[in-house]
Amino acid sequence: MTEWKMICRIDDIPVLGARRVSRAQGMDVAVFRNDANEVFALLDRCPHKGGPLSQGMVMGQRVACPLHNWTISLCDGQAAAPDQGCTPSFAVKLENGLVHLDAHELANHATDLTRPTAGPACKQAA
């Protein structure tokens, strides 16, 4: 049986925006709200190069990554063709104006993924 953890009120998430939920392990989860008051949750990591999807523009059931404009489905995390890739999605429940995430997923899902680091390439050994 799913144990739901209350995250916030839907009104705490900007329309066409997102709110980040930090976790004890792993990257933040981004909880999105569209203009139909639907809520979605994805790992805050674009499948392209790790951009913060929580800072992207929500359009219907998709979000445009702020870095290179890939479009990611809020329903399942899949990148729209011709781009390829997927970011992990999380179960989310909206009940009586309150947003909940699956407590088990929040603690355990995709905790091994990190944001790519920018910078010069490693020096190769001679």
- Minimum separation from the CB atom of position 65 to ligand FES (A): 3
Candidates 7-15, 17-25, 41-49, 101-109: pick the segment binding ligand FES (CB under 6 A): 41-49
- Out of 63, 70, 90, 100, point to the residue binding ligand FES (CB under 6 A): 70
User: Per-residue DSSP letters for 80-94?
Assistant: PTTS--B--EE-EEE
Burial of 84 (0-12, 13-18, 19+ CB in 10 A): exposed
State yes or no: residue 49 binds ligand FES (CB under 6 A): yes
Which of 36, 29, 31 has the alpha carbon at shortest distance from 12? 31
- Minimum separation from the CB atom of position 17 to ligand FES (A): 17
Q: Which is nearer to ligand FES, 34 or 87 (CB)?
A: 87
Q: Which is nearer to ligand FES, 65 or 74 (CB)?
A: 65
Q: Which residue has the tokens 């404009």?
A: 69
Burial 86-110 (b: 16+ CB within 10 A, else e): ebbbbebbeeeeebbbbeebbeebb
- Out of 31, 43, 65, 110, point to the residue binding ligand FES (CB under 6 A): 65
User: Count residues contacting ligand FES (CB under 6 A)?
Assistant: 9
Longest dimension (CA), the chain: 63
The β-bridge relationship of strands 89-90 and 29-33 is: unpaired
- Out of 16, 67, 98, 107, point to the residue binding ligand FES (CB under 6 A): 67
**Residues near ligand FES (CB under 6 A):** 46, 48-51, 65, 67-68, 70
